[in-house]
């Protein structure tokens, strides 16, 4: 990947003439089965551009109550776009009930925001939803003339796990965001894909948000390498997540639900007050985890820089700390 970055042909993406960015966008659009694609600096920026491109002030986005666009992206659509959220309960797989769309779409009444968009997420907390589930939700939303966006930050984890083509997953989806970092291993960047008119509007919004980058081909080259080399290897991360979960489940003081390890995420629960102490202990060993005051469930994510030797070391350190 570093060699690809060093060899990247560069231009000025603000003017649309960086060849490495253009090549990545074309490759991504083809991969995702959409007319066009746009390179973004992050998944948050990609989702925000999608929401602002689909919705106007006073309109509303239906989404899951655990989804990133609602919980973890600083309320950008509301803060910057005047767009409301209508959160709906998610099931154990992170999916939605199509009937809840019926219940949450607002009538044509001046008292209510205008329901305009449905935002989905796959994977959600490491859990996958099938092509059929995504398609049924999209079709129900289209019944009400809603635009449908998929936050697919870890979409390739879902498609590899399910053994499906991304195009099939996205056949009824209007726009999709795909993260090139995370499991795919690029240093930064995300892709937003959809119809040409939508991408043109998103491009303008990206500029408004300060997302115009000059010689962005340095990052785009890494993204292209990731798409060419790092998709199918996600299965290794899924395998390693199971190894991690099985190892943790044997340690007294840790609760892990092995049945909930679907892709590359393991949620480990500790006795009250333990997680924060564990974070400090591991930091002294140059091992870093996310653990916060008052939260004793820790999310652990396997990826291409976290393989069997690192997992063995991590399990060994936890055994030493807890026993």
Residue 78 pLDDT level (bands cut at 50, 70, 90): very high
- Name 218's Cβ contacts closer than 8 Å, sequence gap at least 6: 5, 8, 10, 20
Domain ranges of the chain: 2-229, 234-322
274 and 295 in contact (C-beta within 8 Å)?
A: no
Helix (H, G, I), strand (E, B) or coil at 105: coil
Instruction: Look up the CATH architecture of domain 234-322.
Output: Alpha-Beta Complex (3.90)
Residue 292 has what pLDDT? 80
Are the C-beta atoms of residues 189 and 220 closer than 8 Å to each other?
yes
Q: Cα 110 vs. chain centroid, distance in angstroms?
A: 34
Q: CA-CA distance, 83 to 52, in Å (whole number)?
A: 8
The pLDDT of residue 8:
98
Percent of the chain, pLDDT > 70? 100
Instruction: Extract the tokens encoding 27.
Output: 């490759």
- For the chain, the residue count is 323
User: Which residues are within 8 A (CB) of 320 and not within 5 positions of it... i.e. 6 or more apart?
Assistant: none
Q: How confident is the model over 305-311, as a mean pLDDT?
A: 93
Q: Which residues pair with 124 in a beta bridge?
A: 127
Are 179 and 204 in contact by the 8 Å Cβ rule? The answer is no
Query: For the sheet containing 254-256, what is the strand order?
Result: 254-256, 265-270, 297-301
Q: What is the pLDDT of residue 44?
A: 98
Q: What angle do CA 9, 12, 18 make, to 5 degrees?
A: 40
Phi, psi of 278 (to 5 degrees): -65, -40
Least confident of 106-115, 241-250, 261-270, 288-297: 288-297
Mean pLDDT of the chain: 96
The class that CATH gives domain 2-229 is alpha beta
* CA of residue 319 relative to chain centroid, distance: 32
Binned at pLDDT 50, 70 and 90, residue 290 comes out as: confident
Query: Is 0.85 topped by the overall pTM?
Result: yes
Q: Which secondary structure element, helix H or strand E, spans residue 266, and what is its range?
A: strand 265-270
Return the DSSP state at 251: S
Task: Kindly report the backbone phi and psi dihedral angles of residue 313, in degrees, each rounded to the nearest multiple of 5, phi listed first.
Answer: -65, -45
């Amino acid at each position: 990947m570093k060699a690809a970055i060093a060899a990247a042909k560069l231009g000025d993406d603000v003017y649309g003439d960086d060849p490495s960015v253009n090549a990545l966008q074309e490759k991504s659009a083809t991969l995702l089965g959409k007319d066009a694609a746009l390179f973004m600096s992050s998944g948050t920026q990609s989702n925000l551009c999608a929401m602002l491109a689909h919705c106007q002030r006073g309109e509303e986005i239906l989404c899951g109550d655990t989804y990133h666009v609602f919980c973890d992206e600083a309320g950008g659509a509301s803060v910057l776009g005047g767009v409301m959220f209508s959160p709906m309960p998610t099931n154990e797989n992170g999916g939605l009930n199509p009937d809840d769309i019926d219940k949450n779409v607002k009538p044509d009444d001046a008292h209510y925001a205008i329901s305009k968009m449905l935002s989905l997420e796959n994977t959600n907390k490491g859990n996958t939803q099938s092509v059929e589930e995504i398609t049924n939700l999209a079709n129900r939303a289209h019944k009400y003339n809603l635009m449908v966006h998929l936050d697919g930050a870890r979409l390739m984890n879902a498609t590899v796990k399910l053994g499906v083509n991304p195009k099939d997953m996205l056949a009824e989806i209007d726009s999709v965001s795909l993260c090139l970092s995370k499991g795919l291993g690029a240093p930064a960047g995300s892709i937003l894909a959809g119809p040409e008119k939508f991408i043109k509007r998103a491009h303008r919004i990206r500029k408004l948000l300060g997302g115009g980058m000059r010689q962005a081909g340095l990052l785009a080259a890494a993204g292209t390498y990731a798409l060419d080399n790092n998709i199918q290897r996600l299965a290794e991360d899924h395998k390693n997540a199971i190894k991690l979960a099985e190892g943790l489940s044997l340690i007294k003081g840790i609760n892990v639900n092995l049945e909930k390890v679907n892709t590359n995420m393991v949620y480990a629960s500790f006795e009250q007050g333990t997680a924060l102490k564990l974070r400090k202990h591991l930091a002294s060993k140059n091992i870093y985890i996310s653990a916060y005051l008052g939260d004793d469930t820790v999310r652990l994510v396997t990826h291409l820089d976290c393989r069997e030797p690192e997992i063995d070391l991590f399990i060994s350190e936890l055994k030493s700390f807890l026993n």
